[in-house]
Amino acid sequence: MAVQTVESTTDTDDATPTASPASPVDLGPATALSCRECGHRVPLGPVFACEECFGPLEIAYDFSAYDTEELRQRIEAGPANIWRYAPLLPVPADVADKPNINPGWTKLVKADNLARELGVTGGLYVKDDSGNPTHSFKDRVVAQAIEAARAFGFTTLSCSSTGNLAGAVGAAAARAGFRSCVFIPHDLEQGKVVMAAVYGGELVGIEGNYDDVNRFCSELIGDPAGEGWGFVNVNLRPYYAEGSKTLAYEICEQLGWRLPDQIVVPIASGSQLTKIDKGLQELIGLGLVEDKPYKIFGAQAEGCSPVSTAYKAGHDVVRPQKPNTIAKSLAIGNPADGPYVLDIARRTGGAVEDVTDEQVVDAIKLLARTEGIFAETAGGVTVGVTRKLIENGVLDPSLTTVVLNTGDGLKTLDAVAGTGLTATIRPNLDSFREAGLA
């Protein structure tokens, strides 16, 4: 992947890279980009890799002016979407007034029926992100990328995708008034193509696989043809990724400003899990929740389990795998944030586990049958891993536990295609009785 160094988006002197520069753009409390590896700081800009060590850049904030109770009241008085947390995100203070897809504030469902089935006594919750505008958690991260793109003067939004992200980018770009140009493998299933195409942006099929699509996007970023283009998951990635913090914020606020004891999070690139940890740490640091131990558990499908494999082997690095699982939204064989996930799981006393595709399907049905929530395969992975971790004595059923469902079953209908009619009868009572339904 091409590494970009900082380029100013304005002509002011402020944009010259320094250790802790004044920002040339208004992204609220965000003050700089900071390397996760070496701590090197650069001004806010459309860059994602450290010029010193090639480490990933993250947003650095200045939260020092906040009074805890004032901040809490400001959040609680905010809109019923992620912008209630604008003071903690790289967005301008008036973000809620700008055209955006406004995701978030999805339901935290108290899953008492599922808790009974799994033997959880400490309170079990499902954070159900299928309630987002395009029905996946990707709306959260894309909404952030939109505001960064606006700040940097980009006019086209782009990404490489095999599904959820394409729809999220298409929808958000349409609402926010950006041109969009999304790249996908040319031979995707027709349903996924329709879902991505309906928003009217450019949808370009690449003759090749997902790796070819990604390689092409990296090439395009470095070319004049890609000028003015914001790739949400490449050159806007530091901003984009921060959207996942809102999952942590919402869970804690919906629990009554309380940390859960245990959270089960799906792992694709691993970014979501690391940002949930970052969000929890911020809430503790700001005094919005009482500090206490929490455990973060990572969930993978066996057919794409590089992080789980490394965790079980006691490794610090993640060996890439070739994905082969029905949980396609998690099928990243070489997860960029894998090492950070390992670190967080071990530091918090959590774990990383995986389940088979059969267990994924069983878990989708279990969640639907008990709570009326129809999850994407990724939700089957987290529920399935939760069940496995309880059975193995790793997850403590007496503690408050939150399980993430990050997507919608309507997008992965094939996974449960075997589900069908329980009976077929003629339209009369005799036939009804014969079928044993009375």
Within 192-221, which residues bind a second copy (CB under 8 A)? 193-195, 197-200, 202-208, 212-213, 215-216, 219-220
Residues 363-402 that bind a second copy (CB under 8 A): 364-365, 368-374
Q: Record the tokens describing residue 329, joined without a space.
A: 């939204």
Q: Is 1 in the site for a second copy (CB under 8 A)?
A: no
Range in contact with a second copy (rule: CB under 8 A) among 43-51, 298-306, 351-359, 405-413 = 405-413
Residues 166-185 that bind a second copy (CB under 8 A): 167, 170-175, 177, 181
* Of the residues 1, 68, 419, 434, which one makes contact with a second copy according to CB under 8 A: 419
CB of 369 to a second copy, least distance (A): 3
User: How far apart, in Å, are the Cα atoms of 194 and each of 163, 164, 203, 377, 413?
Assistant: 10, 12, 10, 20, 15
38/410 with CB nearer a second copy: 410
**DSSP E strand stretches across 178-334:** 179-185, 202-206, 229-231, 262-266, 295-301
Range in contact with a second copy (rule: CB under 8 A) among 42-50, 236-244, 323-331, 406-414 = 406-414
Q: Is 420 in the site for a second copy (CB under 8 A)?
A: yes
Rounded-to-integer distance, Cα 332 and Cα 161, Å:
12
Q: Record the tokens describing residue 223, joined without a space.
A: 């070319």
Q: Contact at 8 Å (CB) between 337 and 269?
A: yes
247/389 with CB nearer a second copy: 247
Q: Contact at 8 Å (CB) between 264 and 401?
A: yes
Interface map 222-251 toward a second copy (x if CB under 8 A): -x-x--------------------------
H or E stretch covering 260: none
Q: Is 99 in the site for a second copy (CB under 8 A)?
A: yes
64/428 with CB nearer a second copy: 428
H or E stretch covering 362: helix 357-371
Rounded-to-integer distance, Cα 264 and Cα 386, Å:
7
Q: Is 257 in the site for a second copy (CB under 8 A)?
A: no
Residues 104-163 that bind a second copy (CB under 8 A): 105, 107, 112-113, 131, 133-135
Q: Is 348 in the site for a second copy (CB under 8 A)?
A: no
CB of 295 to a second copy, least distance (A): 27
Return the SS3 of 31. strand
CB of 438 to a second copy, least distance (A): 4
89/181 with CB nearer a second copy: 181
H or E stretch covering 33: strand 30-35
How far out from the chain centre does Cα 67 lie? 29
23/254 with CB nearer a second copy: 254
**DSSP E strand stretches across 139-266:** 156-160, 179-185, 202-206, 229-231, 262-266
**Kindly report the CA angle at 272 between 335 and 24, in degrees rounded to 5?**
100
Q: Contact at 8 Å (CB) between 292 and 269?
A: no
Q: Record the tokens describing residue 388, joined without a space.
A: 């496995």
* Of the residues 19, 77, 313, 421, which one makes contact with a second copy according to CB under 8 A: 421
H or E stretch covering 322: none
34/164 with CB nearer a second copy: 164
209/398 with CB nearer a second copy: 209
